[in-house]
Structure 1
Amino acid sequence: MLPTKNKLFLTYYVLKQYSNKENPMNATEVAKKVQEVFELEKAPNRRTIYDHFEDLELISEVYEQTVSFRLVRTPNRKVYIESTISSGEAHLLSDAVATSRFIDLEQSRSLIQKLGIVVGQNLKNFFEPRLHFKATDKKEYNEQLFQNIDVLTEAIKKGKKVTLQYLKYDVNKQLVPSRPDENNGYKKIRPYYLIWQINKYYLMYYYDDSTSPRFMRVDKMRDVMTIDEAVGELKDIPNLSDYTRNQAYMFGGMPEYIRFRCKMYSIGQVIDFFGEDVTIKPIDEEYFQVEVYTSCESIKFWLMQYISSIDQIEPLKLAVEIEEMLEDGLRRNRVKQKETFL
């Protein structure tokens, strides 16, 4: 039995657990459920429950930016508690957690359980079969990932630089300093934006002496620390959201307008990847032109992936670079004699 001095919480708990859009509750039903669940000798009176409804409604309105629920009234004087996160949104987020390679098994279970609490569902049991496919061993980056996100988020809010050690995988699949000859991989950077892209979490940043943005994977960072130096105003990229969304691969680089001609049968791949806002101009029944605002570094490998249906690439420097890459790849992969593969 819980202490009963704060009866408002008891009303909230009952509404959270037992009410929804299909099953709203009136004051009498809530009072009886409170008495049943918390084993009270006497049910709260209806006037008290009505006061609780008003308090919960006021809390959800005044503190809508900080509480995760709203109280909804129906025409027949019943109410229910509705989460500010929908069931579909919670499932989508849980799915992302369950399939992420950079959130270990126990952390995944904990996060999914918390999302389930917010929406009043047992999401942990629902996703447990999928979680069985995750490895049970704990990686070093697993333990630091969320701490890295916290530190970087706070640094971005305050407009401060950070220092960190950046890592890479070696042939033994171990994380080692990315450039051990340069301060053992430690860097000082100006962080500006965190983004989840291509099933990984990235930080967009600048070096102190760089005029071009770059991206760095958060799961490969170690010893992230904020330092008391201002990052300065970001002037080169007017719209961070558009810039990061159009990054085909997270290599950074200054954005510019990239154009190319594409065969009509590939229109689905273009829209699926760049979104419905991408600029598309029909040329004829066979071709259309694509224009996207991104960097050459970011898009060149995407263009290579679909090169069998793409041509007339602009700007010229990008077209030349892709041509050289194709010629080099063809030279190294040319089949010199026919072989039989069993």
Structure 2
Amino acid sequence: MPKGTNQKFKLYRLAQIMMKKTDEEHYITMPEIKETLAEYDITADRKSLYNDLRDLEILGIEVEGEQDGNRYRYHVVNRPFELPELKLLVDAIQSSKFITEKKSNSLIKKLETMVSEYDAQKLQRQVYVSGRIKAMNESIYYTVDAIHNAISENKKIRFQYFQWNVKKEPQLRHGGAWYHISPWGLSWDDENYYLVGFDSEAGLIKHFRVDKMLRIALSNETREGREHFKKLDMADYARKSFGMFGGEEETVKLQVSNGLAGVIIDRFGKDVMMIPVDEDHFNVSVDVRVSRQFLGWVFSLGESVRILGPEAVVDQMKAETQRLIGQYDIK
């Protein structure tokens, strides 16, 4: 039998065919395999294909055959990801505000290659992202990678930081000055990605919106601030910082309507102690960084939540209330 010019790619093409054309519900027969290989100018006899299908297991591709009438049919089983898992990843990518629309579609296309062409269509029905408010900084994907590399290599990073002005233009902060920060972690909060690091010059832990960082580069300097982060639980830090805004950490006592028990648990976790006050309310003490954003969160819950203490925090809420009254000229 004359061999095709691409014979050396036979096993590679066979793997592609099996991964693309088969799944738990779709099979392929030996004649169909030979026909598809011929499209790549590859010829094969039945006996060699039996051996090749077994050899695919070396590549981590498990092929199963079953009798179908007077013929055999084959399909791939035990893929690295199940379809529901990939759907979950697609949803996570779509809902991630920090990933741009272009990068979202690119990542989803790559996920589609991990399933058959039939299951890929099921993912495609979920990939409509046009019109979503996504990040506009396309380089964020590589910024995150650079931060992880710096953490791995125990190095500082340098970058410029910007904010949007009223002309909808990025404007460099501090006149374009470079920030020199020791990166210690990344945190996800309020649909944004944040770098959490140590500013040696200020002697403080600071956080920065990753999508507002520009021209990031690794420094030759070794990271500093290890002693601060030894005592810091990153997840706890993010939970206490509303919208990742800073503030003095306080144990704040709240009186909450029973109907908002889920809101408290979602925000502070199931370990909080909710002490019944009466049939309709409970008290809870939570550790937070008191900021205008925290007060705004309490405000947004209306009469269902009331700050009981400490007195200084109650006074801050009263002052914020008076500021709003003055801002809107309420009499």
TM-score with structure 1 setting the length:
0.75
Equivalents in 1 of 2:283, 2:255: separation in Å? 4
Among candidates 214, 236, 242, match of residue 242 of structure 1: 236
Shift of 1:98: 3.6
Counterpart residue number, 2:23: 20
Confirm or deny that 1:158 pairs with 2:153: yes
Q: CA deviation at 1:95?
A: 3.4
The CA distance in 2 between the partners of 1:295 and 1:4, in whole Å, is 66
Alpha carbons 1:113, 1:123 under 8 Å: kept: no
> Residue 172 of structure 1: CA displacement?
1.4
Aligned residues: 312
Q: Is the 8 A contact 1:204 1:215 kept in 2?
A: yes
Q: Output the aligned Cα RMSD.
A: 3.5
**CA displacement 1:146-196 (0-9 Å, x = unmatched):** 22122112112222111111111111121102232xxx3421112111133
Q: Deviations over 1:254-276 (max 9, x none)?
A: 75544322111222332344454
1:9 maps to: 12
| Alpha-carbon offset, residue 18 of structure 1 | 3.3
Flag the 1:246–1:335 CA change in 2: closer, same or farther, 3 A. closer
Q: Give, in whole Å, the separation in 1 of the partners of 2:23 and 2:148.
A: 35
Matched residue type, 1:38: L
Question: The residue matched to 2:243 in structure 1 has which SS?
Answer: coil
**Mapped partners of 1:254, 1:22: distance in 2:** 58
Per the alignment, residue 50 of structure 1 pairs with 54
Match for 1:133: what amino acid? G
Which deviations, in whole Å up to 9, do the C-alpha atoms of 1:61-97 show, x marking residues without a partner? Answer: xxxxxxxxx7487999x87344434433433433344
Secondary structure of residue in 2 paired with 1:118? coil
- Measured in 2, the distance between the counterparts of 1:147 and 1:293 equals 34
On the 8 A contact 1:160/1:228 being kept in 2, the answer is: yes
User: SS where residue 192 of structure 1 aligns?
Assistant: strand
Q: Of 72, 75, 91, which residue of structure 2 is paired with 1:95? A: 91
Q: Which runs of 5+ in 2 are unaligned?
A: 68-73
Which whole-Å CA distance do the structure 2 matches of 1:292 and 1:72 have between them? Answer: 54
1:97 and 1:103 in contact (8 A); partners too = yes
Q: Quote the Cα distance in structure 2 between the aligned partners of 1:42 and 1:202.
A: 54
What is the aligned partner in structure 2 of residue 221 from structure 1? 213
Structure 1 residues without counterparts, runs of 5 or longer? 58-69, 337-342
Number of the residue aligned with 1:131: 129
Cα deviation 1:188-232 (Å, max 9, x = unaligned): 112111133222221112211445433211111111111122223
SS in 2 for 1:335: coil
- Hey, what does 1:260 align to over in structure 2? 254
- Looking at structure 2, the residues matched to 83 and 194 of structure 1 have their Cα atoms a distance apart, in angstroms, of 31
Counterpart contact for 1:255–1:296, Cα < 8 Å: yes
1:204-219 maps to which residues of 2 (within 5 A)?
A: 204-210=196-202, 212-219=204-211
Of residues 106, 110, 114, the one that matches 2:110 is 114
Q: Secondary structure at the match of 1:260?
A: strand
The SS at the match of 1:168 is: strand
Q: Does 1:251 align with 2:245?
A: yes
Q: Which residue of the partner structure matches residue 288 of structure 1?
A: 282
Deviations 1:33-60 (A, max 9, x none): 532322143343423322322x134xxx
Decide whether aligned partners of structure 1 residues 74 and 308 sit closer, same or farther in structure 2, where only a CA change above 3 A counts. Answer: farther
The one of 189, 195, 201 aligned to 2:181 = 189
Residue 171 of structure 1 corresponds to which residue in structure 2?
166
Residue 61 of structure 1 is matched in structure 2 by none
The SS at the match of 1:285 is coil
* Shift >6 Å, 4+ stretches: 72-76
Partner secondary structure for residue 7 of structure 2: coil
Q: Is the 8 A contact 1:262 1:290 kept in 2?
A: yes
Asked if the contact 2:159/2:217 (under 8 Å) is kept, the reply is: yes
Distance 1:145 1:21 in 2: 37
Query: Aligned AA for 2:289?
Result: S
Q: Given the alignment, which residue of 177, 184, 192 partners 1:200?
A: 192
Q: CA deviation at 1:294?
A: 3.8
Would the aligned equivalents of 2:56 and 2:63 in 1 still touch at CA under 8 Å? no
In the alignment, the residues of structure 2 paired with residue 87 and residue 300 of structure 1 have an alpha-carbon distance, to the nearest angstrom, of: 43
